């Protein structure tokens, strides 16, 4: 039977889930069913959740793993009494920090992901809007405002990477698809005019043609667009352009969007407007 892990918070649950998933990802041989429970912000909700945890323990015949970021002491007391192996993130880390810093924590609910007076929140929203407005070569006249312009063949990961860069780091990312319209007379790709003046901002994405064909097949099955020959040709042409124009690029085949983004930042030296939350 798989083990069950509960990520519990009296706020959004993002911190508990992010840290919990990172910790549990280290145990590849254990099947774990993960459940996030945000906004457990009253004793009544905590007691109801404790009952669910108890039922889960009986069903699994194993105590669940409980990872929480509960701030309210009364609610924390209820969760402490639940049946499970508990990882209390705040008590684990805040107490030693209080001793080191010589002051008490504010113990404010939702402080990490609140808006407050944080100007980074507006940067985040504006960057996401920029990524959406400049997706798939939509508004090339705005490229002077871009921090980076992702280029690559269709379905190689440009859009999700652009949005992740915006949401997590406040980086204004546009993206431009390389298509047959950009072919030169000899059949090789040429740098589109819209990109030529922004060459220093370009970053290429490539992908294994077999993976690309599988992704495209889900979108347009049994089409020329998803055929292996077409995918091989487009990827070879794109990589040839990158090498010819000295455009840095990364193979997205085996990397998550998080890895693609952070590797890109490390390679290009892009400035983050804020740290990921």
Tell whether residue 155 is among the known ligand binding residues. yes
Tell whether residue 152 is among the known ligand binding residues. yes
In this structure, are residues 147 and 201 in contact, taking their beta carbons and an 8 Å threshold?
Answer: yes
- Going 265 to 276 to 143 to 259, the CA torsion angle's sign is positive
Tell whether residue 159 is among the known ligand binding residues. yes
Tell whether residue 231 is among the known ligand binding residues. no
In this structure, are residues 238 and 153 in contact, taking their beta carbons and an 8 Å threshold?
Answer: yes
Tell whether residue 157 is among the known ligand binding residues. yes
b/e 126-140 (16+ beta carbons within 10 angstroms → b)? ebbebbeebbebeeb
For the sheet containing 3-8, what is the strand order?
Answer: 32-37, 3-8, 65-68, 85-88
Distance CA 219, CA 213 (A): 10
Distance CA 202, CA 164 (A): 17
Annotated binding site: 152-159
Which residue ranges are tagged as binding site for ADP? 152-159
């Amino acid at each position: 039977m798989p083990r069950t892990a509960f990520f519990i918070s009296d706020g959004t649950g993002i911190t508990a889930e992010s840290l919990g998933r990172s910790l549990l990802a280290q145990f590849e041989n254990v099947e774990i069913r993960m459940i996030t429970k945000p906004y457990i912000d009253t004793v009544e909700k905590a007691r109801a959740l404790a009952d669910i945890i108890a039922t889960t323990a009986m069903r699994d015949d194993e105590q669940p793993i409980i990872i929480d970021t509960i701030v309210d002491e009364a609610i924390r007391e209820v969760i402490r009494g639940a049946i499970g192996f508990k990882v209390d993130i705040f008590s684990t880390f805040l107490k030693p920090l209080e001793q080191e810093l010589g002051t008490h924590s504010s113990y404010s609910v939702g402080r990490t992901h609140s808006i407050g007076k944080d100007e980074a929140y507006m940067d985040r929203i504006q960057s996401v809007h920029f990524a959406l407005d400049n997706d798939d070569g939509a508004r090339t006249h705005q490229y002077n405002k871009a921090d980076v312009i992702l280029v690559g063949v269709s379905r190689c990961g440009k859009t999700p990477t652009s949005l992740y860069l915006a949401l997590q780091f406040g980086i204004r990312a546009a993206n431009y698809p390389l298509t047959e319209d950009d072919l030169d007379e000899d059949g090789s790709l040429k740098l589109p005019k819209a990109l030529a003046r922004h060459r220093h901002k370009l970053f290429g994405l490539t992908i294994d043609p077999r993976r690309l064909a599988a992704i495209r097949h889900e979108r347009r099955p049994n089409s020329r667009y998803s055929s292996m020959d077409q995918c091989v040709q487009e990827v070879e042409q794109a990589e040839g352009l990158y090498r010819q124009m000295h455009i840095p690029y990364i193979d997205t085949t085996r990397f998550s969007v998080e890895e693609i983004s952070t590797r890109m930042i490390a390679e290009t030296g892009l400035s983050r407007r804020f740290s990921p939350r």
